Amino acid sequence: MRKRYPFPFLDAYERKDQDFFFGRDEEIEQLYQLTQQSNIVLLYGHSGTGKTSLIRCGLANKFRSYDWQDVYVRRGTHLIRSLDRALCEESDGAFDYEDGGDTIADLPQKLEAVYRATFKPLYLIFDQFEELYVLGSRDEQDAFVRIIQDILRREQPVKVILSIREEYLGHLYEFERAVPELLRKKLRVEPMNLERVKTVLLGVSNQPDSNVQLEAGHEAPIAEGIFEKIRGQDKTLHIPLPYLQVFLDKFYLEVTGDQSRQAEAIFTRPTLAAMGDLGDVLRNFLDEQATAISRAQGLPEAEVWRALSPFVTLEGTKEPLSEAQLTARLSDLPTGASARLLQALVQGRILRFSEASQLYEVAHDALAKQIHAKRSDEEIAILEVQRLVKSQTAMKAEAREYFTEKQLLFMEPYLEKLVLGEAEKDWIAESRVRVHHQKEEAQRRQEAELAATQKRLRLVRGLLALALVAVLVAGYLRVLANGQKAAAESATLVANERLLEALQEKAQRLEGEKAQLIRAQAVYQTAGDSILQRETLQTMTEKDSLIQLNAQNIRDAQARQKQQ
């Protein structure tokens, strides 16, 4: 029996790899049970936890062959078109694919045709579903939700499995509002811990048709040593699955040197120790491959990284491209250089090619993150401009917004380095015209506002002049009034003084008259004239009253004099 190489490098495990797929039994069972409980299941986890392998190998082998018809769908350039194309291809010739944009014509009939082609329950598996939110437009997202609603409403043997990176779960908010059952049946795929690594390596080593074995009697220490090598100084409890896959491939080559991966290998502790400190396994792999490809192609290494950059989004995720798209972006390279470079990157296992979609993409999101980290500021700016342009032109015309002057100024230095479609060029040109008109309108408004301001200033100046005149007149009147008041107060003071003098003279006169009455009273008393005595006494009483009243008037006049 010919033995097989057990490690898929950065590829996912397929149904045929069941004999080498270890460490996921519990999750396989959980996922299987969820598919029996609901027509839509969500599988999520961080990048590099093995979500695709869990479905394509683990779940697929859990079903009996007559109970499982899987249709795998990746977004490609448009998720709905990719789904439509996949259904047509699986319909056994009942339908030919025609681009329907954001809709799928005859969807129920196509689902029925796929079912009748095999008479197996149909599982629509949307792998790397986060691409819809990273690369797709809002129109595409909304249209996909409507299609899923339509599928779930129908009484057809169709189930939906969505696989998404954990950090993009928040993007499903609107999806869940439209499809409430979306998050009811979900499963998180856990990363690789030490026990799982041991299970994988021991399982592979004990598999009879595996061409890789661990040194007998030292299986557990070797597995632990591999785990320690990969996690390095981080001392975390988990390691990313892609790092394990790349390391195991590197370990195999270190033992055998066989690039065809057919020779048998025994992983030993001395060989593992001799590999030394590996650092970042994926980064080192990329650096080694980029160096080797640049030498083989006769290109600067920077050109290899420049060719890889368009395959990665600004978020560090994969973005599939066709050969024509890459050639257009690398138009300054010699004729045929981009095609040769693509083939070298595929052979170096950095890129993979999809026959179905005719697109190239980075072999794994873990590699995409490493490529993203290598980008220059200019490359990042170019991608920012590219996303800005596509985000607007991907919308329906009535929903688009013109680019602002600030956006156009940011875009200008990089537009020549982008491959733009006619619609994108037209929208940029229309935005420039719009900005020009806005600036002219703003200039007219400024001139009108300036004229209005000048008019208001003239009015204000006139009002200020009138106010100044009013102030001067009021001041004059106040001075005049103060003068009159002072004259009146002076006259009052003089009159009061004269009154006081008159009252004082009157007081002297009254006192003199009272003295005369006192002397007369004495005479009348001596003479014994009682009648005259009584009259004189009455007159004296009256004089006393006048004297008192006059004294009060004097006091009042003196008080007024003090106040003045």
3-state secondary structure 448-500: HHHHHHHHHHHHHHHHHHHHHHHHHHHHHHHHHHHHHHHHHHHHHHHHHHHHH
Residue found under tokens 């004999």:
19
Helices (H), 125-235: 131-134, 138-153, 173-178, 194-206, 219-231
What is the pairing mode between strands 122-126 and 192-193? unpaired
- Determine the Cα–Cα distance for residues 499 and 561; give it in Å rounded to an integer: 11
Beta bridge partners of 359: 354
Give the DSSP letter of residue 183.
G
* 186 Rama sector, left if φ>0, alpha if ψ -120 to 50, beta otherwise: beta
Residue found under tokens 């970042």:
280
pLDDT at residue 278, rounded to an integer = 63
Helix (H) / strand (E) element for 527: namely helix 422-527
CA angle 312, 316, 319 (to 5 degrees): 30
Regions in the chain scoring below 70 on pLDDT: 1, 277-279, 564
pLDDT at residue 214, rounded to an integer = 95
pLDDT at residue 217, rounded to an integer = 93
pLDDT at residue 258, rounded to an integer = 93
pTM: 0.71
Assess contact for 171 and 45: CB atoms under 8 A.
no
324: how many CB neighbours lie within 10 A of its CB?
Answer: 11
pLDDT at residue 279, rounded to an integer = 66
